[in-house]
Amino acid sequence: MRALSRSVLALVALAALPTAPAAAQDEPPRVRVEEPRVGPAYPMAFVARILRRHRRELLRCAEHAYARRGAVPSPTAIRFTITDEGKAEALRVEGGGPEAAEAREAFRRCLRARMSRWRFPRPPGGAKLHVRVPLLEALGR
């Protein structure tokens, strides 16, 4: 029984030993920095071109949502995702305080209905592209 205990202790001691030589553990890890590899770029000009083409729709949605509710147009940006098919989805309107929440939601609903018909160039590689556009830029001001 005692021999078995010594064998088990020896195995446990061997298992606890580091597998690399001690000198290798004292060396700092080697890190090689390379240029990042990315796929083809999706120029923001593609998005800007579509937004310019639909500028009147953007303005109508803003006027409808804010002017009718007496709220000051306060959103600062719109965020959306361009799908692998070139469709806009997951639209969010950023900015504005709680007093403009109803107007902001009306603007988002109106804009979502319009953007569902828009087509953007497809992102490369079948990926989804997340876009944030400042609102004044989107409205062309």
CA–CA distance, 21 with 42 (Å, rounded to integer): 48
Asked whether the beta carbons of 61 and 75 are under 8 A apart, the reply is: no
pLDDT tens across 38-47, in order?
Answer: 345 677 888 8
Only one residue has tokens 């087509």, namely: 119
* 36 belongs to a structural domain: no
Q: What is the pLDDT confidence band of residue 139, given thresholds at 50, 70 and 90?
A: low
* 132 belongs to a structural domain: yes
* 38 belongs to a structural domain: no
pLDDT at 117 > cutoff 50: yes
pLDDT tens across 31-86, in order?
Answer: 444 443 334 567 788 888 888 888 888 888 888 887 766 665 566 788 888 898 98
* 133 belongs to a structural domain: yes
Q: For the chain, how many structural domains are there in total?
A: 1
Query: What local confidence, expressed as pLDDT, does residue 130 receive?
Result: 87
Query: Angle between the 55-62 and 44-53 helix axes, to the nearest 10 degrees?
Result: 70
Nearest to 81 by CA among 20, 130, 139, 29: 130
Owning domain of residue 73: 44-138
CA–CA distance, 64 with 48 (Å, rounded to integer): 22
* 37 belongs to a structural domain: no
* 128 belongs to a structural domain: yes
Only one residue has tokens 């969010």, namely: 92
Is the pTM higher than 0.85? The answer reads no
pLDDT cut 90: percent of the chain above it: 9
* 109 belongs to a structural domain: yes
Query: What local confidence, expressed as pLDDT, does residue 31 receive?
Result: 47
Which tokens sit at 44?
Answer: 């923001």
* 59 belongs to a structural domain: yes
For CA atoms 111, 105, 139, 134, the dihedral sign is negative
